[in-house]
Chains A and B, each alone.
Chain A
Amino acid sequence: MQKMADSETVQIYGVTWSKWSAALSRRFDILVAIVLFLAVLSAFHLHFMLLAGDWDFWIDWKDRQWWPTLTPIVAITFPAALQYVFWEKFRLPIGATFGIVCLLIGEWLARAGGFYLWSDFPFSLIWPATLIPGAIVLDTVLLLTGNFLLTAIVGGMGFGLIFYAENWPMLAAYRLPMEVMNSMVSVGDYIGYAFTRTATPEYSRLIERGTLRTFGGHSAAIAAFFSGFACVLMYLLWWYIGMFLARVVWVPNKLKTLMGFKKDARPASEVVVV
């Protein structure tokens, strides 16, 4: 092989590349980034809509008990799996942030297109929660510790713990009390009441029930701690799901054999390698 001149090469992370290869690799980065962005956006958004659903859709579902409990638990899934792939395969500490940014872009697209333009719901009723601070905590803890178990414990707990607090600046205005028909409700309650969801009656709201008298009624704080604890477990589970799904496997194309065009001469033990 002809030796390349120094001017035609470039050092990347201590490895010598030809400039042409490096440029091609960068284009590959961009292509993969675009495909990954669309894939994660779609899959994560679908997952999140199905599991967090109404709690994230509507202002009168964003309560102190279920919303801060469930939302982080179902939102930490893809970030954990993506962190495995990004960190273990590429040492990139951005898996969680990337996943959450994809999700939120999908959420805003759906809210603007499906909820606002198509169904005419006002944005005051339908804005999505943010999860970015928790994702940054997850990524930076992984970056600083380099340990997935510590990330699960510290980052996962942080992800669930700060969810309510990180959304409170947006939510507080909707928790002002107002009087309607001689009853006191929050502004969020009234927005949900005023702008009709024809097939979603009031009783279908799964919002704060029961009592937390032992904890002085501090529902949100208790929910946040429980959510953080559950996020630790979910993180571990989805880290391993990421590991499982990131395995490199191949399955031989048996179509030709089945169609009689080609006979697979390999021994049966080699046909499927997983």
Chain B
Amino acid sequence: MVGIFGSRLTPLRLVAWLAVFVSLIGCSIGSAYAHGERNQEPFLRMRTAHFYDVKWSTYKLAVNDLLTITGKFRLFTDWPNNLPLPDKVFLGSGTAGPVFARVESYINGQPAIQSGKLELDRDYTFKIVYKARQPGVHHVHAMLNVDGAGAILGPGAWIDVTGKESDFKLPVTTLDGTKIADLTSWGVGTVVKWHALWFVIALAYMLWFLRKPMLIPRYLVITEGNEDTLITRGDRLWGLFFLVAAVLIVIGGFQWASAAYPRTVPLQSGVFKVDPLPQGPRTIDIKLEKATYDVPGRSMKLEVKVTNNGTEPIQAGEFATAGIRFVNHSVPAAMAEVDPVYPKELVPPGGLKVDNDAPIQPGETRTLNLDMTDAAWEVERLTALLNDPDNRVGGLLFFFDSDGKRLITNVYGPIVPIFTKLEPTNQVGAD
């Protein structure tokens, strides 16, 4: 064969070309760097679960070390109408598969190994403890799975795991005192032995028949009407032996396993019940008057009417939605809430701008214009909400009183896109 190879294609060259081809395929396969959170529809990210106060205990650890993620989430009051309510929720693991082993997880301090019902417009704490398993840089999210609504990802951080996967161990001790050195290999030897035994038995059974001529000769005999001659007494004895042997081995295996593991339990299929965090006094009335999104300007503007029914003056300090935190730089208490090591891509530098930052006094009602201008809207693909069938925006607006105490409000409502016409002077090539 000649052609693009320039000369005759020998087997050696063929192998060489195949090696090159396979190498190219290998080079083209990259790692999965995140979990497609930006592909989730904005209504799913902005109006379901809002995670806040999320902390990762470390950003670098070795295989077998522990990583703890803590934080809170609020199931949004303006839950999308086209999603099932959170009647069956699981505290999921937003990792790239089993790169970590999940050791423990809690919602409001209750074990979250199973699923349960949660309430809208209520807050919950969560805690997940992971054990690092696979070296690499992994994106680790807080995540809730809601039956019928799918995975709802919270903010994610890059975690660097060093070491060797072969060093990973997950030991446990069972209630009957059995010490399991590593759950990744527990029982696998027995599984392989039993499968191998049955494969050998099956092959031995079939080889008795396969050793003799099979298809055409047997087919010809059957077409002649002499099929009874094809099964001999030896064949029947062979079959009887295997029938008896198979049944006896199954019974013997069952007895052995029952003796070896006398105390076993079925898979656990219950649900957990957990109460939400106590609801503190809600002293702020807030109503979204108007929301717009300036498409070319990448700017979301919210006009909200706020009434302070509390006893302390308050300031708008942060707007959180879809895991993105727009923080008001002129409110020290809000800035103090941002951990210096918090993922920077989740805290847009433009932050939250308020037209009147003066504290809202007790009893005062004021209309605030909130401006959040940042490329994050595009980067996070949240502008896709303009394509949603239910074109609404939602998020948590954090107020801070004069003592630095945080008060959380829900902001939600319809949003109107503004396809601003560029001025001629701003256009490329304009005089």
Q: Report Cα–Cα, A203/B229, bound state, in Å.
A: 57
Q: Which residues of A contact B94 (CB under 8 A)?
A: 198
| B92 close to A (CB within 8 Å) | yes
Query: How far is A89 from B222 in the complex, measured between Cα atoms in Å?
Result: 7
- Taken residue by residue from 112 to 151, chain A's Cβ proximity to chain B (1 for < 8 Å, 0 otherwise) reads as 0000000111111001001011011101110110100000
The answer to the question of A47 belonging to the interface, with a C-beta cut-off of 8 Å to chain B, is no
- Which residues of the partner chain B approach A165 to less than 8 Å between Cβ atoms? 250-251, 253-254
Q: Please state if B240 and A144 are interface contacts (CB–CB under 8 Å).
A: yes
Select A25's contact among B106, B216, B267, beta carbons within 8 Å: B216
CB of B231 within 8 A of CB of A193, answer no
Task: Name the interface residues of A76-99: CB closer than 8 Å to any CB of B.
Answer: 88-94, 97-98
In the assembled complex, the Cα of A91 lies from the Cα of B227 at a distance in Å of 7
In the complex, which residues of chain A have a beta carbon less than 8 angstroms from the beta carbon of B95?
A: 196, 198
Is B229 in contact with A133, judged by CB distance below 8 angstroms? no
Q: A169-B254, A177-B176, A207-B267 are in contact. Are A196 and B246 (CB under 8 A)?
A: no
Contacts of B184 in A (CB 8 A): 122-124, 195
Can you name the residue of chain B whose Cβ is closest to the Cβ of A161?
B250
Contact A184 B268 (CB under 8 A): yes
Of residues 235 to 287 in B, which have CB atoms within 8 Å of A's CB atoms?
A: 235-236, 239-240, 242-243, 246-247, 249-251, 253-254, 256-258, 260-261, 263-269
Residue numbers in B under 8 Å from A190 (CB-CB):
113, 172, 183
Contacts of A181 in B (CB 8 A): 104, 106, 111, 113
Chain A CB within 8 A of B360 CB: no
Q: A93-B239, A177-B176, A198-B93 are in contact. Are A187 and B183 (CB under 8 A)?
A: yes
Q: Which positions 201-250 of chain B face chain A at CB distance < 8 Å?
A: 201-203, 205-206, 209-210, 213-222, 224, 226-227, 229-231, 235-236, 239-240, 242-243, 246-247, 249-250
Q: Is the CB of B134 within 8 A of A175?
A: no
Question: Which of B165, B190, B251 counts the most chain A CB atoms within 10 A?
Answer: B190
With A124-B184, A172-B260, A196-B102 as given contacts, are A189 and B113 in contact (CB-CB < 8 Å)?
Answer: yes
Distance in angstroms between the alpha carbons of A273 and B104 in the assembled complex = 66
Known A166-B250, A198-B92; contact A132-B198, beta-carbon cutoff 8 A: yes
Contact of B97 with A by CB under 8 A? yes
B427 at the binding interface (Cβ < 8 Å)? no
Please report the C-alpha to C-alpha distance between residue A7 and residue B222 in the assembled complex, in whole angstroms.
26
Q: Does B64 contact A (CB under 8 A)?
A: no
- A94-B206, A191-B183 known; A29 vs B213 contact (CB < 8 Å): yes
B191: interface (CB < 8 Å): yes
Once the chains bind, are B201 and A132 in contact (CB under 8 Å)?
A: yes
Separation of A135 and B268 alpha carbons in the complex (Å): 31
Contacting B at CB under 8 A, from A213-266, are 219
Instruction: Evaluate contact between A132 and B202: CB separation under 8 angstroms.
Output: yes
Residues on B with beta carbons closer than 8 Å to the beta carbon of A146: 231
Query: 0/1 per residue, B93-121, Cβ < 8 Å to A?
Result: 11111111111101000010111000000
Contact A143-B97, Cβ < 8 Å, known A172-B264, A175-B265: no
Bound Cα distance A60, B226 (Å):
51
When chains A and B are docked, how far (Å) is the Cα of A121 from the Cα of B183?
11
Which residues of the partner chain A approach B203 to less than 8 Å between Cβ atoms?
A: 101
> A13 contacts B217, CB within 8 Å?
yes
Q: Is B147 an interface residue (CB 8 A)?
A: yes
List the A residue with the shortest CB-CB distance to B208: A94
Given A136-B205, A185-B268: A90 and B260 interface contact (C-beta under 8 Å): no
Interface of chain A, main secondary structure: helix
Q: A207 contacts which chain B residues (CB < 8 A)? A: 267, 269
Q: Which residues from A are CB-within-8-Å of B260? A: 172-173
Interface size on A, residues (CB 8 A): 92
Q: A14-B226, A143-B235 are in contact. Are A127 and B215 (CB under 8 A)?
A: no
Is A197 at the interface (CB under 8 A from chain B)?
A: yes
Please tell me the size bucket of the interface on B. Answer: 35 or more
Residue B173 lies at the interface, judged by CB distance under 8 Å to chain A: yes
**Interface contact tally, CB-CB below 8 A:** 302
Q: Which of B180, B191, B206, B226 contacts A187 (CB 8 A)?
A: B180
A123 B188 Cβ-Cβ under 8 A? yes
Decide: A12 near B113, CB < 8 A? Known: A130-B194, A198-B95. no
* In the assembled complex, B288 has its CB within 8 A of some CB on chain A: no
Task: Evaluate whether A98 and B206 lie within 8 angstroms (CB atoms) in the complex, with A132-B199, A208-B267 already known.
Answer: yes
Bound Cα distance A78, B199 (Å): 18
Q: Are A178's CB and B266's CB within 8 A?
A: no
Docked pose: A139 CA to B243 CA in angstroms:
9
Asked if A270 lies at the interface with its beta carbon under 8 angstroms from chain B, I say no
From 125 to 181 in chain B, residues with beta carbon under 8 angstroms from any chain A beta carbon are: 134, 143, 145, 147, 151, 165, 170, 172-176, 178, 180
Contact: B214 with A90, CB < 8 Å? yes
Cα-based distance from A122 to B285 in the complex (angstroms) = 52
**Taking the nearest CB of chain B, how far is it from the CB of A131, in angstroms?**
9
Check A130–B183 contact: CB distance below 8 A: no
Contact A139 B239 (CB under 8 A): yes
Q: Once the chains bind, are B194 and A170 in contact (CB under 8 Å)?
A: yes
Are B209 and A93 in contact, with the CB atoms below 8 A?
yes
Inter-chain contacts of B429 with A (CB < 8 A): none
Q: Is B243 a contact partner of A196 (Cβ separation < 8 A)?
A: no
- Residue B88 CB within 8 A of the other chain: yes
Residues from chain A with a CB closer than 8 A to the CB of B134 are: 120
Report the minimum CB–CB distance from A212 to chain B (whole Å). 12
**Which of B145, B178, B220, B269: most chain A Cβ within 10 A?**
B269
Q: Please indicate the chain A residues that have their CB under 8 angstroms from the CB of B93 in the complex.
A: 196, 198
B28 at the interface (CB under 8 A from A): no
> Are A13 and B213 within 8 A (Cβ)?
yes
Distance (whole angstroms) from the CB of B171 to the closest CB of chain A = 11
15 cross-chain CB contacts under 8 A:
A13-B220, A14-B226, A25-B216, A91-B231, A101-B206, A119-B98, A122-B185, A122-B188, A170-B191, A176-B175, A176-B263, A196-B95, A198-B151, A203-B147, A205-B267
Taking A140-B246, A194-B102 as known contacts, 5 extra A-B pairs with beta carbons closer than 8 A to each other, sorted by chain A number, are: A64-B267, A91-B227, A124-B186, A124-B188, A169-B194
